[in-house]
Amino acid sequence: MDEQGGITVRRALELPGLRSGLPEVVACGDRLERRVRWVHAGEVPNIASLLKGGELLLTTGLGLGTRPAEQRAFVHRLAERGIAALVVELGSRFDRLPAALVEAATAAGLPLVQLRREVAFVSVTEEVHTEIVNGHYALLRQADEVHRRCTEALLDGGGAPQVLRILADFAGNPVFLETADGRLLYAAGAGETPAGAEPLRVDPLQVWEGLRGQRTARAAGPPADTVLVDVAGGGQGAGGVRARLVLPAVAGPPLPVHRMAAERAAGLLAVVLMQARQEDELAARGRGDFLTDLAEGRVGYADAPAQAKVLGFRPGEGPLLPVVMRLAAEPVPSGNWAVLARAVLEELASVGVPVLLGVRPVEGRVPLLLGLRQESERTAVADRVAVALRAGVARAGLERGGMRPPVVVVGVPGGWAVAGAGLRHAGETAAAAQGLPDRPWYDARRLDIDLLLWRLREHPDLAAFVDRAIGPLRAHDRSSRPALLPTLETYLAHAGRKAETARELRLNRQTLYNRLARIAELLGTDLDDPQTVLALSLALRARRHTP
């Protein structure tokens, strides 16, 4: 089966029908890898006018003419049509092919074959067409397999980047998703190569920059060997085109099967874009995917600056500040992410530093990287960023009554080498900070204990530890009043200072003493013991992560 569709002339000559005619290639034997799109049989002089190109033409020679000039003109017209090969059966018109015919075919680069035995042209047609149809079916199965893998990736929670990676691996070339007006949304390089092939060591973003330069210079679209597939979705582009898949020729020209796979992938991406609803949200998701890939180590720090530059982030030489905002647990409607991203970016414009902001709807997160001039700016910039983030959430209508305010965690500044780890740390800390008393922003460095307890949330020992430490108090508070856990929590937060505890709880001293005595009695412990205080403090922090 030919991966480019159809079969080769060489393969057609190997099939039983033509092989039984003892075929002999008399011209252009080096061009037998041409693809046969169809088979046609005819005996009229003007047969070329009936052909479209790619045909294997079968004839007995009755329409070739008797004079050399007629035979040369016949071959010339066939070559202009772009047929795959000319097969002439000897006997009816010629005992041997005329020299003029062979010379014309050689000059035109047209494979010429003579058959020494009579064959049933209808049998040849059936065999070749069956082979072609089977080949197309095999290509369809390959494209359908890519479609199946892309569908599974989406069902598993993936998005456009995963679809592009699968398609890039299949095509062996980079794949890009651009907006209708040519802005890059996603890029994927080929992570896998066919057996025996050299790995493709090309940065897809460098390819994109080169491709964009070519298109600018040509002012007439991409090179001819680049495949473009429209992704429909009712966008602002002409004809309702929301985006386009771009498959350039890097390791080799894209094959028809790659276009078939891209067309199937485009259908899935259209669904993704319709879910995203707005290109602003799609672009924000793309930036969020990049920041997440950086945090999870899928983008190396050496490649990150170039990718960030393509996404519009040029931070300068100063340190990078990772920040993550996590929204409340309630799901955010899809279309609101575009509103949120736009509102937050507008608010952040007043902060005065370069910002790369993305959204991650699956996790309910908004990751950011900010470019500082110097590390001493961290606190001042964090204050302004936290205000801008909350203002953006309010403008997007996501701060409804009863909802907890968003959690903003500011990480540790540093260079590109540590930016990924900083984003990961801030993201995990934002999850661990859910349920803590509200603050404008949290310093990731001061929540390491909460982060450690959050990481242990699935371990049964953590729940057992909480139950041993404060289980009697939890049981008491479920059935009796006043609740004692808030008293213990406030007492420990004030490091055992009873006057400050009573003032915050608005209790008189004796009432507080009675409650503390009751807590000590229920727990069977001494609240003045340092080890007890440590265990109770940890248990109170850990209870947010246990049933």
- At 47-102, the pLDDT tens digits run 988 888 888 999 998 888 889 999 999 999 999 999 999 999 998 888 889 999 99
264 and 298 together in one domain? no
Count of structural domains, the chain = 4
Identify the CA nearest to 200 among candidates 245, 252, 165, 164. 252
35 pLDDT tier (thresholds 50, 70, 90): confident
- The confidence score (pLDDT) of residue 279 equals 61
SS (H, E, C) 284-301: HHHHHHHHHHHHCCCCCC
> How far is 512 from 497, CA to CA, in rounded Å?
11
92 in the same domain as 190: no
pLDDT band at 104 (very low <50, low <70, confident <90, very high): very high
In this structure, the answer to whether residues 346 and 395 fall within a common structural domain is yes
Contact 188, 164 (CB under 8 A): yes
Residue 152 belongs to some domain of the structure = no
Measured CA to CA, the distance from residue 413 to residue 426 in angstroms comes to 11
Residue 22 pLDDT > 90, yes or no?
A: yes
126 with 16, same domain?
yes
pLDDT confidence bin for 255, thresholds 50/70/90:
confident
| pTM for this model (two decimals) | 0.52
Does 150 reside within a domain?
Answer: no
pLDDT number for residue 384: 92
The number of angstroms, rounded, from the C-alpha of 355 to the middle of its chain's C-alpha atoms is 22
Q: Which of 86, 111, 130 is the last residue of a domain?
A: 130
Structural domain contains residue 153: no
Could you tell me the pLDDT band of residue 417, with boundaries at 50, 70 and 90? Answer: very high
Query: What are the CA-CA distances from residue 185 to residues 15, 33, 454, 455 (Å)?
Result: 47, 38, 34, 33
Pairing relationship of beta strands 320-326 and 365-371 according to DSSP bridges:
antiparallel
Reading phi first (left if > 0) and then psi (alpha if -120 to 50, else beta), residue 61 is in: left
More confidently predicted of 134 and 543: 543
Question: Both 285 and 272 in a single domain?
Answer: no
Question: Given 244, 276, 308, which residue is the final one in a domain?
Answer: 276
- The closest alpha carbon to 32, from 11, 15, 48, 49, belongs to 11
pLDDT in the model for residue 442: 95
Domain CATH for 59: 3.40.1390.20
Handedness of CA 44, 45, 49, 52 (dihedral sign): positive
Distance of CA 413 to the CA centre of its chain: 28
> How much of the chain exceeds pLDDT 70, in percent?
88
Residues 324 and 299 in one domain: yes
Pull the structure tokens for residue 269.
Answer: 């991406």
pLDDT tens digit sequence for 266-275: 888 887 776 6
Q: Which two tokens stand for residue 65?
A: 């003419």
Looking at the fold, whether 120 and 237 belong to one and the same domain comes out as no
Q: Give the domain CATH number at 210.
A: 3.30.450
CA angle 93–99–101, rounded 5-degree value: 65
The answer to whether position 151 is within a domain reads no
Q: Residue 277: is its pLDDT beyond 60?
A: no
pLDDT at 25: 94
- 22 versus 186: which is more confidently predicted? 22
Same-domain check for residues 272 and 285? no
Mean of pLDDT values over 153-168: 81
For residue 189, the model assigns a pLDDT of 77
Q: Please say if the pLDDT value at position 238 is more than 50.
A: no
In a domain, residue 2? The reply is: no
What are the b/e assignments for 462-475, b being 16+ CB within 10 Å? Answer: bbebbbebbebbbe
For the chain, what's the residue count?
A: 547
For residue 348 the two structure tokens come to: 């952040």
Question: Is residue 271 domain-shared with residue 287, that is, in the same domain?
Answer: no
Kindly indicate the confidence band of residue 216, based on its pLDDT and cuts at 50, 70 and 90: low
What Å distances lie between residue 20 and 59, 99, 399, 476, CA to CA?
Answer: 16, 25, 80, 95
Residues 362 and 418 in one domain: yes
Q: What is the mean pLDDT of residues 326-344?
A: 70
Last residue of a domain, one of 455, 474, 492: 455
The CA-CA-CA angle for residues 398, 403, 406, to 5°, reads 65
Phi then psi for residue 166, to 5 deg, are -60, -45
For 500-510, write each residue's pLDDT tens digit: 999 999 999 89
Q: 298 and 422 in one domain?
A: yes
State the average pLDDT over residues 116-137.
84
Q: State the pLDDT at residue 1.
A: 42
Specify whether 86 is located in the same domain as 32: yes
- pLDDT above 60: residue 236: no
**What is the rounded average pLDDT of the residues 527-542?**
90
Residue 312 tokens read as 């519009």
**Average pLDDT for residues 214-240, to the nearest whole number?**
63
- Specify if 141 maps to a domain: no
pLDDT digits (tens, 9 = 90+) for 520-532: 999 998 988 899 9
Instruction: Read off the DSSP letter of residue 502.
Output: H
Residue bearing the bigger pLDDT, 531 or 210: 531
The boundaries of the domain holding residue 163 are 158-276
- So what's the pLDDT on residue 214? 66
Structure confidence at residue 197 (pLDDT): 44
Helix (H), strand (E) at residue 246:
strand 241-247
Return d(Cα 233, Cα 312) in angstroms, integer: 25
Q: Is the peptide bond before 482 cis (omega within 30 degrees of 0)?
A: yes
What pLDDT does 195 receive? 41
Least confident of 109-123, 370-384, 391-405, 513-527: 391-405
- Report if residue 135 sits inside a domain: no
pLDDT of residue 117: 92
> Is 139 within the bounds of a domain?
no
Q: For all residues of the chain together, what is the average pLDDT?
A: 84
3 has a pLDDT exceeding 60: no
Pair of tokens at residue 104: 């014309």
Pairing relationship of beta strands 227-232 and 184-188 according to DSSP bridges: unpaired
